[in-house]
Structure 1
Amino acid sequence: MDANEKELRKIRIALIVFIVIFALSSGSREINLENNNADVTMFQHEMVSLEDGYFGILTNDVSWEDTGRLRIYYYDSDANEVTLKKVISLEDLLYE
């Protein structure tokens, strides 16, 4: 081997070591996304807590006008799934 081949071999070995170190160290990073423009309370007032894993979400106009809807969901904690059970017009809820 001449000097150039030895130098190229050392560079390849060094690159392989850097790639292995980089691959092992990059897996433990935590990425935090912050959205300072979103108001968390804006979404909380539309959620209605019900019993036994059920909850409702007010959609459209939440000021109890005729265009609003209540979507009732069920959360199954065993399967970790949320399923839509019923959609009710707010006008129907007021007159029942």
Structure 2
Amino acid sequence: MSVDIATVKRVARLSRLAVSDEDAQRMVGELNVILGFVEQLDEVDVSGVEPMTSVIAMDMKKRADVVTDGDKAADIVANAPASEEGFFLVPKVVE
């Protein structure tokens, strides 16, 4: 994939950046070099490499994925002016 001056201008416009013609011409070369480096990564065989979250191998801390009510209903309504059976009581506002 290569970048042309029209692509650079379009990306600059979408990014709301003011780019002069000479800057756009310079960016064409720079972006093509960057894309060349990225294309080199396609040559690397990573089929046996496990995904990593860090450069140091470590296990991620995980918790059990279970649905609970949180056991916090009493704490949540403790400061409410009025509550009943774990729910807030509020005055009626719609007739």
Query: Into which bin does the TM-score normalised by the smaller protein fall?
Result: under 0.3
TM-score with structure 2 length normalisation? 0.28
TM-score with structure 1 length normalisation? 0.27
**Greater strand percent: which structure?**
1
